[in-house]
């Protein structure tokens, strides 16, 4: 009897030591000093190829600098859905989402400090993109600009702005054109959008799903998509499609941030911050450009000006008054999108 009690006691003691032992491998700032560390990067759909390349670059670099082995685990999906999962308890050390509004929604759930976007240069955007049009080879429907998307003989593929970050950029790029065309008359611009969305044949939940609908399933005459996604499609089957730059587009800022409460509990703040900061380095900027993201470093961008025409007129989200205002006006329940798409 006594012996059994002793075993139980020693077991409890042992597990207590193990549990607290985990907490002991920390330096003065609470960073883990373990030999191996994992970093979870929750991102949106089209960044798969970018982070595959960047992660192996960073893992090598970090090993060389600190001796610590870091393994970056990726999760990809629709930006809004990913933000919701992080807010619901997905333990992401860093979030690299498609738009600041989604990072803001994570911040509002109390996981990220509210000043997150000012912690890194360029609004915390080491890379950005823009919105372009992808048409079938030879451009059979003669699509040149946003105007052509409202023609009754054109069928459009774009994801649902309620669930997809990319879709919101698509919507806003077209809206920017409409405002310009009608001299900032909103009622005309909304009518333009109504016509455009009447032509949408497939409204997928995410950007990647839309690309698949357009390419693999042959839906629609034109795909509204990220510039990087368009280039990736051209890289895979360049002979089947053509990229069209519209006269006006939007600077699609895709900010990154550490998730404060998660890096605190994982003890990964140092490595997570380095992971994001190194994205601004020249070599990483080259990786961004190679994966068709516009690098924030203007020198690197210029080197790739053949790929990224710099004369494209781009509005920014600030021209619309920021994400909070835009979300409420256009994408909230009963907002303009709900009114035009029934």
Partner 1 sequence: MEQKKNDGILKWVLIIIAAFFLFIMVIMPLGMVVAGSFAMGFKYYIASITDKYTLKALSLTLRATIASVICTSVFGLMAAWAVTRYSFPGKKIIKSIIDIPVTISPVICGMIFLLLFGRQGFIYPLLDKVGIDVIFAVPGIIIVTVFVTLPMVFREIVPVLEARGTEEEEAAAMMGASGWTIFTKITFPSIKWPFIYGMILSASRAMGEFGAVSVISGHLRGLTNTLPLHVEILFNEFNTTEAFAVASILVMLSIALLILRLVLQYVSKRKISRMQKATA
| Footprint on this chain of partner 1 (rule: CB under 8 A) | 19, 22, 40, 42, 45, 48-49, 73-77, 85, 87-91, 109, 208-209, 212, 232, 236
For the bound state, the minimum distance from the C-beta of residue 89 to partner 1, rounded and expressed in Å, comes to 4
Nearer to partner 1, 251 or 269 (CB): 269
For the bound state, the minimum distance from the C-beta of residue 83 to partner 1, rounded and expressed in Å, comes to 12
- CA–CA separation, 90 and 70 (whole Å): 19
Q: Give the C-alpha distances (Å, rounded to integers) separating 53 from 271, 273, 302, 310.
A: 18, 18, 22, 25
User: Residue 20: which H helix or E strand, with range?
Assistant: helix 2-24
For the bound state, the minimum distance from the C-beta of residue 75 to partner 1, rounded and expressed in Å, comes to 5
Give the CA angle between residues 150, 310, 215 to the nearest 5°.
Answer: 45
Nearer to partner 1, 48 or 61 (CB): 48
Nearer to partner 1, 6 or 73 (CB): 73
**Residue of 90, 60, 58, 89 whose CA lies nearest to 75:** 90
- CA–CA separation, 186 and 136 (whole Å): 32
Nearer to partner 1, 89 or 140 (CB): 89
Q: Which pair of structure tokens corresponds to residue 35?
A: 């030999």
User: Residue 186: which H helix or E strand, with range?
Assistant: helix 186-198
For the bound state, the minimum distance from the C-beta of residue 85 to partner 1, rounded and expressed in Å, comes to 6
**Residue of 290, 159, 169 whose CA lies nearest to 232:** 290
Nearer to partner 1, 90 or 312 (CB): 90
Q: Do 150 and 175 touch, CB atoms closer than 8 A?
A: no
Q: Rounded to an integer, what is the distance from CA 43 to the centroid of its chain?
A: 6
Nearer to partner 1, 43 or 296 (CB): 43
Nearer to partner 1, 159 or 246 (CB): 159
For the bound state, the minimum distance from the C-beta of residue 215 to partner 1, rounded and expressed in Å, comes to 8
For the bound state, the minimum distance from the C-beta of residue 22 to partner 1, rounded and expressed in Å, comes to 8
For the bound state, the minimum distance from the C-beta of residue 182 to partner 1, rounded and expressed in Å, comes to 38
**Residue of 173, 189, 224, 175 whose CA lies nearest to 203:** 224
Q: Is the dihedral of CA 183, 180, 166, 146 positive or negative?
A: positive
């Amino acid at each position: 009897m006594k012996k059994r009690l002793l075993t139980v006691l020693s077991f409890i003691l042992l597990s207590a030591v193990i549990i607290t032992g985990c907490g002991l491998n920390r330096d003065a700032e609470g960073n883990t000093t373990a030999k191996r560390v994992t970093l979870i990067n929750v991102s949106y759909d089209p960044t798969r190829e970018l982070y595959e390349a960047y992660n192996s670059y960073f893992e090598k670099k970090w090993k060389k600098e600190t001796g610590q082995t870091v393994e970056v685990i990726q999760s990809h999906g629709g930006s809004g859905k990913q933000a919701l999962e992080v807010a619901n308890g997905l333990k992401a050390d860093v979030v690299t989402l498609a738009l600041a509004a989604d990072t803001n929604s994570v911040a509002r759930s109390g996981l990220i400090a509210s000043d997150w976007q000012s912690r890194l240069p360029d609004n915390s955007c080491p890379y950005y993109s823009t919105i372009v049009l992808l048409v079938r080879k030879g451009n059979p429907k003669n699509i040149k600009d946003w105007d052509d998307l409202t023609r009754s003989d054109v069928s459009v593929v774009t994801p649902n702005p309620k669930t997809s970050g990319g879709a919101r950029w698509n919507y806003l790029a077209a809206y920017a054109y409409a405002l310009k065309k009608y001299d900032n008359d909103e009622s005309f611009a909304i009518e333009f959008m109504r016509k455009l969305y009447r032509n949408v044949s497939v409204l997928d939940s995410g950007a990647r799903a839309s690309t698949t609908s357009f390419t693999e399933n042959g839906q629609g005459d034109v795909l509204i998509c990220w510039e990087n996604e368009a280039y990736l499609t051209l890289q895979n089957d360049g002979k089947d499609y053509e990229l069209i730059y519209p006269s006006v587009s939007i600077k699609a800022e895709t900010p990154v941030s550490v998730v404060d409460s998660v890096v605190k509990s994982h003890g990964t703040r140092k490595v997570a911050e380095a992971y994001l900061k190194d994205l601004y380095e020249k070599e990483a900027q080259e990786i961004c450009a190679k994966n068709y993201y516009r690098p924030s470093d203007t020198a690197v961008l210029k080197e790739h000006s053949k790929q990224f025409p710099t004369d494209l007129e781009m509005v920014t989200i600030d021209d619309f008054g920021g994400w909070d205002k835009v979300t409420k006006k256009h994408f909230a329940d009963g907002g303009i999108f709900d009114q035009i798409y029934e």
